[in-house]
Amino acid sequence: MRAANILHLGAKELRSLWRDPVMLVLIVHAFTFAIYTAATAMPETLSKAPIAVVDEDRSPLSRRIADAFYPPYFLPPQRITQREMDARMDAGLDTFALDIPPGFQQDVLAGRGPTLQLNVDATRMSQAFTGSGYVQAIVTGEVSAFVERNRSGSPAAVDLALRARFNPELDKSWFGGVMEVINNITMLSIILTGAALIREREHGTVEHLLAMPVTPFEIMTSKVWAMGLVVLVVSALSILFVVQGLLGVPIEGSVPLFLVGTALQLFATTSMGIFLGTIARSMPQFGLLLMLVLLPLQTLSGSTTPRESMPYAVQLLMLPAPNTHFVMIAQAILYRGAGLAVVWPQFLALVGIGATLFSLSLARFRKTLATMA
């Protein structure tokens, strides 16, 4: 093995990538617009939900309830009649429609327990599921305050002081942006290495490499370091300028330590990309294989749903996956400010997984080159 061969072959890979405008656009999109969209497009908390109020009581209590819905959780409520309620819901104008019946305030003061009707457009899932609880809590709070005349007049027996660590404002964009960076690191590293191998096979340049005094190890290592370097650089720029700069997400831990973990992740995923590239005979086949591999890696690694919420069998099944340990590293370092003393088991796991994937991919790569020779 000669380091000079690995260096020159890696430089050739970088030049080939630079001449591929489609890949360049994909890289820029994945680490800019895609991250911003994932962080802001679908918040888990309620945001600017349209609500309409049918006030048939027209009492101080009903007006108090209607005035309690305001931004940022709700849009200013539309005062409508009962005949308009169903028509507006059918037209998709309102997510919530609250009907306050006649005599509501009188029944509340008399202790008769009146009922309010809340219509919900359940097709707007993210708003409907969380918003119903918001509406119920607001109505209950306003009724209790009205009955007591003063919300602070009777203190609660237990005062719950909420302190949300690592995300004080419970802002979903803090989580979504960083997790999208992790997903795109995995996706692009697999795509770039696998596509580079298939592109050489389709263009016939593999035969040229076989005629040169280079070994399969040198060819594969050059692809791993070149494509890994590209993804490492753009992910670092994305963390600094998109996540920290544009989205304003505070990074608690060491970015260089996170990049060390990223390099170990890239060692594993670029090797995986080579392995898939040796199995697929064309770009369409590679795309199908990529979907089969990428979806479980991203959805079951803990970046979308906490691993603790998954069945125990799935947790065990995903332990050999590099993404599982990379998500642990990212959350520990970037969110909780953890150091090497905390994340070294995950670093060690990525080294072992990467070495295994590299060995399997190298064996498969040698077998593929032998059939082409």
Residue 53: partners with Cβ closer than 8 Å, 6 or more residues away? 65, 66, 69, 77, 78, 79, 80, 97, 98, 100
pLDDT at 157: 46
Average pLDDT (157-171) is 59
According to DSSP, residue 45 is labeled S
pLDDT at 316 (0 to 100): 93
Question: Looking at residues 207-216, what average pLDDT do you find?
Answer: 76
Asked if the bond preceding 72 is cis, omega within 30° of 0, the reply is yes
pLDDT at 9: 87
Q: Which of 14-18, 139-143, 218-222, 303-307 has the least mean pLDDT?
A: 303-307
pLDDT of residue 159: 46
* 187 to 19, 145, 243, 259: CA distances (angstroms): 20, 52, 18, 17
Confidence band, pLDDT 50/70/90 cuts, at residue 213: confident
pLDDT band at 306 (very low <50, low <70, confident <90, very high): confident
pLDDT over 80 (residue 231): yes
**Cβ neighbour number for residue 363 with a 10 Å cutoff:** 13
At the fourth CATH level, the homologous superfamily of domain 51-148 is abc type-2 transporter like domain (3.40.1710.10)
> Please, are residues 265 and 185 in contact by the beta-carbon 8 Å criterion?
yes
Most trustworthy range by pLDDT among 38-42, 44-48, 212-216, 231-235: 231-235
User: What is the pLDDT at residue 155?
Assistant: 47
Q: Give the pLDDT band of residue 164 (cuts 50, 70, 90).
A: low
What average pLDDT does range 94-101 have in this prediction? 91
How many other β-carbons are positioned within 10 Å of the β-carbon of residue 118? 15
More confident residue, 211 or 226: 226
All CATH 3.40.1710.10 domain ranges of the chain, comma separated, are 51-148
Provide the residue type at 326 as one letter.
F
- At residue 207, the pLDDT reads 66
For the chain, helix, strand, coil in percent to 5 are 65, 5, 30
Is the confidence at residue 45, as pLDDT, over 70? no
Q: How far apart are CA 114 and CA 332, in angstroms?
A: 49
For residue 163, pLDDT over 70 is answered with no
How large is the average pLDDT for residues 183-207?
A: 86
The pLDDT tens digits for 346-368 are: 999 999 999 999 999 999 988 88
Exposed, middle or buried: residue 366 (CB in 10 Å: 0-12, 13-18, 19+)?
Answer: middle
Question: 274 phi and psi, to 5 degrees?
Answer: -60, -45
Q: What Cα–Cα distance (Å) separates residue 183 from each residue in 33, 206, 236, 322, 348?
A: 14, 30, 14, 12, 21
Whether the full predicted model's pTM is greater than 0.85, yes or no, is no
Q: How much is the pLDDT for 156?
A: 44
> How much is the mean pLDDT over the chain?
86
pLDDT tens-digit map of 133-145: 889 889 988 888 8
What pLDDT is stored for residue 362 in this prediction? 92
Tell me if 187 sits within 8 A of 294, measured CB to CB. yes
Q: Is the pLDDT of residue 274 over 60?
A: yes
241: pLDDT strictly greater than 50: yes
